[in-house]
Amino acid sequence: MLVPKLYTLDDIDVGNKKVLVRVDFNVPIDVNGNILDDFRIRAHSQTLLSLLNRGAAVVVLSHQGRPGDSDFVTLENHAKKLEEVLGVEVRFVNDVMGPAACEAIQSLRHGEILLLDNVRLVSEELMEGEPERLAKTYLVRRLAPHFNYFVFDAFATAHRAQPSIVGFPAVLPSVIGYVMKRELEALDRLLSKGSLKVFVLGGAKVKDMIKVVELLAKKGIECKVITAGLVGLVFHVAKGGKVSNSISKLLEERGLAPLIAEAKKVLSLGIPIETPYDAKVLKADGSIAEEPLSSATGIPLDIGSYTASVFSEIIRSASVVVMKGTAGRVEDPRFRSGTIALLEAALKSSAYVVIGGGHISSMLSEVGVVREKGIHISTAGGALLMALAGEELPALKALELSYKRFFKVVPS
């Protein structure tokens, strides 16, 4: 995948214009709908404040969760949080494309901002397809006529081909916001040749990470892959490593045993993959110990000290480090040391470091290393990795279409 040159906010005049901005405010929430982590909301603040300060009337569109899931809620609390982050009044309407939404958009003055409700309340948003087809949805047909520009800033959704992502660029002049710009710059750097790249892949999304490694191998990206968490256990077994009965039972209970065969196929592609040697385990009596994987008698919830030291040495030798997923169950303070050790190794190195969002980015505050340059904290580690591995991002395709249709000067 080549990173295209696209117009940004800095390439257009938004003064006295109405601008629709697609962001990603899909954040962790508790059972009461309270926001637990506002990282993504804060990340979009630069884009939104730039538009407001330049005299645009700004309407924000986002999703939260999926229909049927516990985090599928209204965006009313998101509006309150956004108001706190921006320091300006944020209007909210519990409608997406109906009369209430259209009236609120029409009455919006320049320098004001409005957040529409959860776009996934509209059933059409769950459709996927080509930009021209999705431009004909009621969502796009009802909202687009109110706006002069569409700004896409939701990189975390760029791998989806839904109306709010690819439909608007087909009918409105479209540019990227600052979050999207930073993500593409990081992707461009990761695609550069001649640097030793180390990917640290952990967490519990084993199938997704197997796919990432497979695509990296097929694309021929020169790299080493470090695996931890459940991802590491599956690849360890796939490499022929011995594990104890308790670990075998864990993989069976989690439904991960069938993925071992998939991991073996990926290993046959020749990409260097490091797997854990020992683990920090929780025993039946509640005690914690570090044991080799071959003889562990508890539940493995973090990498052990030896594994952390071996992995850290590999990380320190890299020119680029990409970290996605944690090494252990970081929700429990007793099992954070492995993740912290790997983060410290990356931040103390001279490498360009990409942190792939999620739980691992939330751990940065616990790492005793401060680094202001040479680090990119992604809002979408999964989308970044998939793009790096060559998977097409429908949002980029739609934005390129919009550029060709509405702009004539090639951006420098």
Average pLDDT over residues 354-379: 82
Closest CA to 242 of 275, 209, 265: 275
Closest CA to 34 of 88, 67, 3, 78: 78
**E-strand spans in 202-340?**
223-227, 273-274, 278-282, 288-292, 299-303, 320-324
* pLDDT tens digits for range 253-263: 999 999 999 99
What percent of the chain is predicted at pLDDT more than 90? 76
75 by Cβ neighbours in 10 Å (0-12 / 13-18 / 19+) ranks as: buried
Average pLDDT over residues 139-165: 96
Sheet architecture: strand order including 278-282: 288-292, 278-282, 299-303
Q: Is the pLDDT of residue 193 over 70?
A: no
59-73, 126-140, 213-227: least confidently modelled range: 213-227
Query: CATH class for domain 192-379?
Result: alpha beta
Average pLDDT over residues 224-246: 96
Query: Chain-wide mean pLDDT for the chain?
Result: 92
Q: Is the pLDDT of residue 389 over 80?
A: no
Q: Which of 126-135, 187-196, 325-334, 356-365 has the highest mean pLDDT?
A: 126-135
CATH, domain 9-180+392-406, list 3.40.50.300, 3.40.50.720, 3.40.50.1260, 2.40.480.10:
3.40.50.1260
Report the C-alpha gap between 396 and 142 in whole angstroms: 23
347 φ, ψ to 5°? -75, -25
Q: Is the pLDDT of residue 29 over 60?
A: yes
**Is the separation of the CB atoms in 321 and 310 below 8 Å?**
no
Model confidence at 369, pLDDT cuts 50, 70, 90, reads: confident
- The partner residues of 200 in beta bridges, in order of sequence, read 226, 323
Residue 107: what residue type? S
Query: How many C-beta neighbours within 10 Å does residue 68 have?
Result: 6
Q: If you ran DSSP here, which 8-state letter would residue 137 be given?
A: S
Average pLDDT over residues 120-149: 97
Residue 90, H or E segment: strand 90-93
| Domains 9-180+392-406 and 192-379 equal at CATH topology level | yes
Structure confidence at residue 381 (pLDDT): 66
Average pLDDT over residues 86-113: 98
Helices 229-238 & 245-253 angle (0-180, nearest 10): 110
Average pLDDT over residues 24-39: 89
196 φ, ψ to 5°? -75, 115
Residues 6+ apart with CB under 8 A from 366: 336, 340
Report the C-alpha gap between 240 and 234 in whole angstroms: 10
**E-strand spans in 189-293?**
197-201, 223-227, 273-274, 278-282, 288-292
* pLDDT tens digits for range 269-305: 999 999 999 999 999 999 999 999 999 999 999 999 9
Tokens encoding 80: 């309150």
Tokens encoding 373: 């340059």
Cα 191 from chain centroid (whole Å): 18
Structure confidence at residue 163 (pLDDT): 98
**Is the separation of the CB atoms in 245 and 194 below 8 Å?**
no
What's the predicted TM-score (pTM) here? 0.82
**Is the separation of the CB atoms in 57 and 18 below 8 Å?**
yes
Tokens encoding 190: 């990761």
What percent of the chain is predicted at pLDDT more than 70? 96
Q: Write down the domain spans for the chain.
A: 9-180+392-406, 192-379
- 3-class DSSP assignment, residue 390: coil
Model confidence at 409, pLDDT cuts 50, 70, 90, reads: low
Among all chains, which residue has been given the structure tokens 């990432």? 212
Query: How many C-beta neighbours within 10 Å does residue 107 have?
Result: 11
Q: Is the pLDDT of residue 412 over 60?
A: no
Structure confidence at residue 270 (pLDDT): 92
Q: How far apart are the first and last CA of the chain?
A: 20
- The partner residues of 354 in beta bridges, in order of sequence, read 322, 376
- The partner residues of 226 in beta bridges, in order of sequence, read 200, 274
Model confidence at 411, pLDDT cuts 50, 70, 90, reads: very low
Structure confidence at residue 1 (pLDDT): 47
Report the C-alpha gap between 381 and 330 in whole angstroms: 17
